[in-house]
């Protein structure tokens, strides 16, 4: 009390050794390559997107080597708990149930959920119009999008798909009429399929 402030250890700060210096260690980054703009494949099947770019930047600063390992969304939390990868950065809703088995960082972005339709659709213009219609609604199983779709529109209306991009494929082929999806991912898919889809309804903020 009243003395001079303690000097931080050289190179490490008050917490000890520098946590941002990983000594060239390999870090396994889990990706699903089906979630533009975060992780997806280009025309030559190379992994690209925000997750890849951020991993490269993090390892540039922290002196590590990113090793990308593909996982499907189904089972990704169990794989994390089992130590099959070190980090997964794909958009993931924070829930208490998931927090029991994985560690979250502080959120780095926040986004809402929307209803995606084909660009030429003129009937689905609001949540009320979608409720009043007999439209089939696609979304990915095991996600917060599934929870939102079923709670808003009823389980009998919702068609579940195993992977994130399949509801969008089904929308484009006419197998479903709308998709409940993360807004930022919807923009990514619209960029990959210009002029074919539009955001018809915003369901949650972000």
Tens of pLDDT, residue by residue over 116-168, are: 999 999 999 999 999 999 999 999 998 889 999 999 999 999 999 988 899 99
Greater pLDDT, 18 or 175: 175
Burial class (CB in 10 A: 0-12, 13-18, 19+), 40: buried
- pLDDT averaged over every residue in the chain: 87
Tens of pLDDT, residue by residue over 92-114, are: 778 888 888 888 888 887 878 99
Does the pLDDT value for residue 115 go beyond 90? yes
Mean pLDDT check: name the lowest of 12-16, 53-57, 154-158, 164-168. 12-16
Q: Which of 58, 66, 73 is nearest to 162 (CA)?
A: 73
Q: Which of 88, 84, 82 is nearest to 104 (CA)?
A: 88
Does the pLDDT value for residue 1 go beyond 70? no
Does the pLDDT value for residue 10 go beyond 70? no
pLDDT average, residue stretch 21-26 = 94
CB environment 3-18: b (16+ within 10 A), e (fewer): eeeeeeeeeeeeeeee
Cα torsion angle, 190, 145, 112, 124, sign = positive
pTM score of the predicted model: 0.69
């Amino acid at each position: 009390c009243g003395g001079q402030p303690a000097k931080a250890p050289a190179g490490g700060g008050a917490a000890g050794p520098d946590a941002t210096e990983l000594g060239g260690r390999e870090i396994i980054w889990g990706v699903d390559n089906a979630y533009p703009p975060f992780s997806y494949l280009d025309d030559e099947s190379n992994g690209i997107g925000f997750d890849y770019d951020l991993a490269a930047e993090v390892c540039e600063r922290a002196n590590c080597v990113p090793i990308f390992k593909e996982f499907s969304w189904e089972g990704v939390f169990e794989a994390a708990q089992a130590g099959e990868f070190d980090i997964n950065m794909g958009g993931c809703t924070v829930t208490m149930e998931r927090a029991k088995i994985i560690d979250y960082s502080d959120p780095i972005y926040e986004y809402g959920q929307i209803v995606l339709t084909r660009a030429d659709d003129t009937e689905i213009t609001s949540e009320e119009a979608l409720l009043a219609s007999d439209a089939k609604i696609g979304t990915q199983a095991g996600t917060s999008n599934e929870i939102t779709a079923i709670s808003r529109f009823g389980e009998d209306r919702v068609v579940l798909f195993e992977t994130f991009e399949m509801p969008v494929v089904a929308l484009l082929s006419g197998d479903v009429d709308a998709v409940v999806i993360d807004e930022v991912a919807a923009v990514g898919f619209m960029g990959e399929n210009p002029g074919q889809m539009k955001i018809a309804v915003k369901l949650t903020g972000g």
